[in-house]
Structure 1
């Protein structure tokens, strides 16, 4: 086992700064995802209450929105899973870096794979986040009958 000199510790800390910044970014992403999930869950609860109180076209709209909310919740949960897995792999990467520094074992290949896996998991999480945002935009588009036929540019283009 190598001695624990201050320069080796300082160098290892410097080397682990990049993964730690990635961990902070992943934590921020998790915060955003948790907020979005909370909003969808709250909206779903309102819709579940309205479900038994509606009939006809209004009931169909409630059911359609519930289905969209359910899909959004599944996508957000998958994104959260990928982000949490990314965070775990980043922690593993930092542990590998310190283990290598303090034991002298050559863990460079394992650390490289851990970093690549963390980036892949972050990519998956971000792509799922993008899918969820698109689902949300699709779910909140204002129905044409509520616009009361206002003749605006994009509405004219749709009528052609």
Structure 2
């Protein structure tokens, strides 16, 4: 078994699409970790100012805790997706270089990676809904009404 330069080029061509997907997942992970960092910073700030009279701080801390769990699940699924895509790329190389038929494992890992990415986006969307609901609750608690564009 002798691998030729043309064979390497063909393997690289096969792995280009998963590499682009991996790049997108990496960007998604950056967004998620930034959101998690902001949630952690906000919860630390609230914990420093926590007093028995500040009931709304307890409510906000509970919401931040829920948001952090949703983001953690999203990060976990994104990382799983990235790992599966890396395995797809490695398996493509091994399959072609060693001339082993691994089409079904490659397809399975790719589908699992896509499903993990879908799950990650679902948790991310749920976290956004919780954050938006929190903003709306805070606005109503302050007695704020709807701000029209001519008032802004």
| Structure 2 CA distance for partners of 1:151 and 1:124, relative to 1, 3 Å | closer
What is the CA distance between 1:49 and its match in structure 2? 1.2
Task: Check if 1:112 corresponds to 2:112.
Answer: no
Q: Any idea what the Cα deviations from partners look like across 1:4-47, whole Å, max 9, x if unmatched?
A: 11111111101101111110011000000000000000000111
Alignment match, 2:76: 81
Task: Check if 1:11 corresponds to 2:10.
Answer: yes
The two structures, once aligned, show a CA RMSD in angstroms of 1.7
Task: Check if 1:90 corresponds to 2:85.
Answer: yes
What is the CA distance between 1:151 and its match in structure 2? 8.4
- Once residues 114 and 147 of structure 2 are traced to their aligned partners in structure 1, the CA distance between those partners, rounded to angstroms, is 47
| Structure 2 CA distance for partners of 1:136 and 1:150, relative to 1, 3 Å | closer
| Structure 2 CA distance for partners of 1:15 and 1:68, relative to 1, 3 Å | same
Alignment match, 1:66: 61
Instruction: Please report the TM-score for the alignment, with normalisation by the length of structure 2.
Output: 0.91
| Structure 2 CA distance for partners of 1:150 and 1:128, relative to 1, 3 Å | closer
- Once residues 146 and 94 of structure 2 are traced to their aligned partners in structure 1, the CA distance between those partners, rounded to angstroms, is 66
Task: Check if 1:131 corresponds to 2:145.
Answer: no
What is the CA distance between 1:60 and its match in structure 2? 1.6
- Once residues 80 and 146 of structure 2 are traced to their aligned partners in structure 1, the CA distance between those partners, rounded to angstroms, is 48
What is the CA distance between 1:85 and its match in structure 2? 0.6
Unaligned runs of 5+ in 1: 153-160
Instruction: Please report the TM-score for the alignment, with normalisation by the length of structure 1.
Output: 0.87
- Once residues 151 and 134 of structure 1 are traced to their aligned partners in structure 2, the CA distance between those partners, rounded to angstroms, is 20
Higher alpha-carbon Rg? 1
Alignment match, 2:43: 44
SS of residue paired to 1:104: coil
| Structure 2 CA distance for partners of 1:102 and 1:132, relative to 1, 3 Å | same
